[in-house]
Amino acid sequence: MPIRGPAWAPIDTKTFAAAVRAHWGVENRLHWVLDVVFHDDLARLRSLNGPQNMAVVKHMAMNLVRNPKDKHSLKVRRKLANLNPDYLETLIRQTASLT
C-alpha cells in the first residue's frame, strides 16, 4: 500500500525515503553542529529578540568556519579563530588559510 502525503496523494517509498534522508541531512549538517560546536543547547537566551539574533550570528559563524578546505575540524577552526586573530581574519575575508 503506498504512503499518503499531506494532500493524500500517493508517495512511493523511494520518494518518502529521500525526504526522510533529506530531513536527517539538515539535522546532521545544521543542528548537530550548532549543538556540538557552538553548544547551542546550553544557551540561556530565551526572551525578546535575543534567540533570533544569536541564531543569525551563529549561522554566519558556522558558514565562515565550515568554508575552509583544510583538514581541521569545525571545533578546531573555531578555537583557532578565537586564539589567533590572523586566522580569524582569513576566515572572515575568505582568503587562504594560515595553518
Whether the predicted pLDDT of 37 surpasses 80: no
Whether the predicted pLDDT of 99 surpasses 60: no
> pLDDT tens digits for 51-69?
888 888 888 888 888 888 8
Measure the CA–CA gap between 92 and 69, rounded to whole angstroms. 14
Whether the predicted pLDDT of 85 surpasses 90: yes
Query: What is the value of pTM for the model shown?
Result: 0.58
Provide the residue ranges of all domains of the chain, joining segments of one domain with +. 10-93
Q: CA neighbours within 13 Å on the CB side: how many for 83?
A: 8
